[in-house]
Amino acid sequence: MAAQDNKSLEQWIWDAACSIRGAQEAPKYKDFILPLVFAKRLCDVFDDEIDRLATSYGSRKTAFAFVDKDPKLVRFYLPFRPADLDKPVWSVIRELSSQIGEQITTCLADIARFNPLLDGIINRIDFNATTHGQRDLDDDRLSNLIEAISKKRLGLSDVEPDIIGRSYEYLIRKFAEGSGQSAGEFYTPAEVGLVMARVLAPAPGMAVYDPTCGSGGLLVKCEIELERRMALSSRKKYAPLKLHGQEFIPATWAMANMNMIIHDMEGRIEIGDTMKAPRFTEGNALRHFDRVIANPMWNQDSNSLPYLGESFFANDPFDRFTDPGQKDDKGNPRILTVPSSSADWAWMLHILHSLNDSGRAAVVLDTGAASRGSGNANRNKEKEVRKWFVDHDFIEGVLYLPENLFYNTSAPGVVIFLNRKKPKIQENKLFLMNASRCYKKGDPKNYLPDEEIARIGDTFAAWREEERFSRIVDKAEIVRNDYNISPSRYVHVADDEDYRPLSEIVEDLRELEREAAINERALRAVLERLGI
């Protein structure tokens, strides 16, 4: 077998990306790289299983013969064999010398044919695809990519299980670095996911859901947190989490499935638009979960969700946007709507209705979601929904994150925690934490060091007040501040008591600009109808 490359995972995966640089725009790299990384992992684990069987059967040749007769001896059966059975199975792909794109596509299709669980996941990409007669990835570059991937062994004892998730997240982050964009996805820094999971404290056997799961990273963080907590308790046997996710982008859906499979986690990932057509339902209602963790795209507007509007909210078959406790002028249940400029609180309503009676949720949103409309004399739809959440005491607390953590924005972001059944001592109170200074400078982005992950998560979970860090705030004070739930409004970290984050001020200005644009369009429409 080839000598193990001792480079870090990050350097190894970036070398693979660089091997095909120029063949595709950066966001497309992962579409070619990750299925091959997944296939390499399957090959190396298959080799490990063959070696294990060989210790009982006497040789790899005999082990292969037994596996061919009974594929259930291994978790995933691979149908191709090297001419020398003592060589790694991956060498079949590594040694391809002609029609490489066509043959790789066939190899991955064969894996899917023998393993129905992988169908539509590992065989999504045509490595021989052309655009206007030109190969998307020619054989020379494809050969370079295979060789780069071959430099690291991905067997059971070689790498941690999160190889797909970490590779995916790293590539998204690198693409965002290079382009200043999000590469089509909203990358959640791993440490933010760990903080969220730490506060949610999932217990064995719980059902966890992410309605905008991307590659499944936040779901994985919940399982990692469960393992951490069980290790502290010395429990050797416990039920794993039941993970559920839905993702709109097909390629990302495939990555999430790879992530679940490679982790050997109990996961079910559905594909589709969660807001329009949620897949986890029971009859005419949403399925309910113990925990929900999510980072929906911030401030989605009517361009990205064109169906959002009064009719959608009023006719939702799952009653996610109705308030049965209040009636409108016609005696019908009040409809909770959000502005066309931001779907943040529509996602919050979906998530709330996805929780069971004692369920809890953690949701990453733009800081403006916590404050927009407060202090504004005009009626603001977003503030009205936020008010509804506060009045019904569904918000457990809010965490204000440091700025410059996320790759597609320098804005800080907040995590809003929901709780369907707050303990008596927490009723009509919110726990607000300003963690804006809990970071270290990175290149090019800030990050949360391990000690701050622990401090934030443990302090929040315990509802422990610390000066210039965290406060328990009565609902009455939230009401006096016109339902502004931003921690920066209540927990001042600067010497100046009148300090207000620039990002929050800028967001307020943007909201005023959005309202002005909406009013201008409405005025133009009236004038046009009048012939003016």
In this predicted structure, the answer to whether residue 107 has a pLDDT above a threshold of 60 is: yes
Confidence of residue 31 (pLDDT cuts 50, 70, 90): confident
Residue with more model confidence, 518 or 473: 473
Residue, of 270 and 31, whose pLDDT is higher = 270
User: What is the DSSP annotation of 293-321?
Assistant: EE-PPTT--TTTSTT-SHHHHHT-TT-TT
Q: What is the dihedral of CA 488, 469, 426, 392, to 10 degrees?
A: 10
d(CA 500, CA 150): 52
Length of the chain (residues): 532
- Reduced to 3 states, what is the DSSP secondary structure of residue 496? coil
pLDDT at res. 501: 60
- Which pLDDT belongs to residue 469? 97
Nearest to 355 by CA among 255, 181, 462, 209: 209
Question: How much is the average pLDDT of 348-373?
Answer: 96
pLDDT-based confidence at residue 235 (cuts at 50, 70, 90): confident
> 219, 213 in Cβ contact below 8 A?
yes
> What is the predicted pLDDT for the residue at 422?
97
Report which of 292, 399, 307 is spatially closest to residue 355, judged by C-alpha positions.
292
Give percent above pLDDT 70 in the chain.
87
The pLDDT of residue 231: 93
Instruction: Indicate the burial class of 215 (C-beta count within 10 angstroms; 0-12, 13-18, 19 or more).
Output: buried
Per-residue tokens: 86: 């003592």
pLDDT digits (tens, 9 = 90+) for 284-312: 899 999 999 999 999 888 788 899 888 99
Dist CA 471 CA 476 (whole Å): 14
| Residue 229 · residue 201 · CB < 8 Å | yes
Mean pLDDT calculated for residue range 141-147: 93
Are 196 and 225 in contact by the 8 Å Cβ rule? The answer is no
Confidence category of residue 2, pLDDT binned at 50, 70, 90 = very low
| Higher local confidence (pLDDT), 81 or 176 | 81
DSSP 8-state symbol, 468: T
- Cα dihedral 102, 104, 107, 113 sign: negative
Amino acid (1-letter code) at residue 162: D
Helix, strand, coil in percent for the chain, rounding step 5: 45, 15, 40
pLDDT value at position 223?
93
Q: Say how far apart CA 509 and CA 516 lie, in whole Å.
A: 10
pLDDT digits (tens, 9 = 90+) for 431-454: 999 999 999 998 778 899 999 999
Task: Name the nearest CA neighbour of 259 among 119, 162, 172, 173.
Answer: 162
Q: Does residue 479 register a pLDDT over 80? A: yes
Whole-number pLDDT of residue 165: 67
Contact between residue 291 and residue 182 where contact means Cβ atoms under 8 Å apart: no
Which of 279, 298, 275, 295 is closest to 287 using CA atoms? 279
Can you read off the two tokens belonging to residue 430?
């919110």
User: Of residues 273 and 182, which shows the higher confidence score?
Assistant: 273
- List all residues 6 or more positions away from 282 whose beta carbon is below 8 Å from its beta carbon: none
Provide, rounded to the nearest whole percent, the portion of the chain with pLDDT above 90.
62
Of 500 and 88, the one with more pLDDT? 88
| pLDDT confidence of residue 183 | 38
Residue 126 burial (C-beta neighbours within 10 Å; 0-12, 13-18, 19+):
middle
DSSP 440: B
> 18: number of CA atoms within 13 Å, CB side?
9
Cβ pair 433, 401 in contact under 8 A = no
Please give the radius of gyration of the chain, using alpha carbons only, rounded to the nearest integer: 26
What is the average pLDDT across 220-246?
A: 93
Provide the phi-psi class of 209: left if phi over 0, else alpha when psi is between -120 and 50, else beta. Answer: beta
Q: Give CA–CA dist 295/366, Å, rounded.
A: 10
pLDDT, tens digit, for every residue of 9-21?
Answer: 778 888 888 888 6
Give the pairing type, strands 355-365 and 281-282: unpaired
How sure is the predictor about 502, in pLDDT bands with cuts at 50, 70 and 90?
low
Among the residue ranges 158-162, 352-356, 404-408, the one predicted with the least confidence is: 158-162
Domains in the chain with CATH codes: 9-159 (1.20.1260.30), 201-221+234-503 (3.40.50.150)
Hey, what amino acid is at 367? T
Q: Quick check: helix, strand or coil at residue 474?
A: strand
What number is the average pLDDT over the span 30-51? 91
Of 203, 196, 218, 227, nearest to 267 by C-alpha is: 218
